[in-house]
Amino acid sequence: MIRRVFTAAALAVLAILAGISLSAAESGWSLPPKLVVLFGLLFIAAAASRLGLFWLRYPLLIASIAYLGFYEGSCLCPNGSLQNIPLFLSQSKAGAIGIYLLEVAVLLAVIFVFGNLYCGWVCHKGGVQEFLFRPRWAVRVPARLDSILRQTRWVLLALILIYPLIAHEKLFNKVDPFKALFNLRGGPLLLVFLGLTLFASIFLYRPFCRYFCPFGALAGAVASLGLFRLKAGAGCTACRLCAKACPAGALAIRKNGEGVEAVHRPELCLACMECRKACPRGAVETCSGLPGDAPDCAPPAPNRRSSRASGMRSPAFRPRRGSSG
């Protein structure tokens, strides 16, 4: 019941935001074409994920790289919108922040309801890393080191929000390696950072997203509070093919007494649905409270003995070793 209330509230927020956009357009204020494209890609991603058209993820990423990346020069980035809000506030231009608030609000609302579709299906920077990654050469990152490195994103998030208030200028575009890639220019240090990022992407699944993207930290936090969850359905045999297919290490399967439980970490999950594609029995189910989902997201009551036997600690980050896009 509570999840349905939250779902209705989140959908109401999306409807309100859509109404604001339409009323603004009628009053002569139109959305930039690049923002329309972004929202369109998000809508397609949400529909495809709900309808099981998971093969559309790669075409959407390619379209995003081509348009939002190279054509727009990566200027439509939620990190840029996040830092533009305090920047314009520091310049007494509060009226200019509406478009950036709208972008961030829509992205976070979609992530709250459908999981992190933006990062997994639409982000042009994540798409570049996605296609570079070679699972057969994947490098294992110890769980403790992985957890420490992921905190870097929160430090960067604080910096891009505070720095514009003090210096009255942007910060993230100075350290964003993909700005150099999509604009085909940049300083020596930025180009070195870009080269290291692209090289690391061959061995690590989306290293920039996982360890350096400020919006990625915020998106993960919203997803962890949101509605999207994965669970092991009645047909699960604990073969763990789904967990092995998860490129972000966001899913684990363990036996719980006489049943099977999926341990889903939404803060790491990119809603790529590789787990559902890998399951031969179709036993990986979503339970976000939306129509068509599994009725209950709550896992079965843990059996202490089996929990201790299976291990409760977070596994080391091990990208999938299947085929890559």
Give me 278's structure tokens. 């890998």
Which helix (H) or strand (E) segment holds residue 196: the answer is: helix 188-203
C-alpha–C-alpha distance, residues 284 and 239, integer Å? 12
Give me 89's structure tokens. 């506030």
CB of 274 closer than 8 Å to CB of 318: no
> What pLDDT is recorded for position 314?
43
CA nearest to 318, candidates 237, 250, 218, 234: 250
Which helix (H) or strand (E) segment holds residue 176: the answer is: none
Angle formed at CA 19 by CA 49 and CA 22, multiple of 5 degrees:
100
> What pLDDT is recorded for position 14?
52
pTM attached to this predicted model: 0.82
CB of 41 closer than 8 Å to CB of 69: no
User: Residue 325 — pLDDT band, cuts 50, 70, 90?
Assistant: very low
C-alpha–C-alpha distance, residues 37 and 20, integer Å? 17
pLDDT greater than 60 at residue 101? yes
- Supply the DSSP string of 109-174, one letter for each residue: HHHHHH-SHIIIII-HHHHHHHHH--GGG---B-HHHHHHHHTHHHHHHHHHHHHHHHHSS--HHH
pLDDT greater than 70 at residue 6? no
> What pLDDT is recorded for position 293?
65
Q: What is the pLDDT of residues 157-187, one digit of tens each?
A: 999 999 999 999 999 989 999 999 999 988 9
Q: What is the pLDDT of residues 193-239, one digit of tens each?
A: 999 999 999 999 999 999 999 999 999 999 999 999 998 888 898 99
> What pLDDT is recorded for position 199?
98
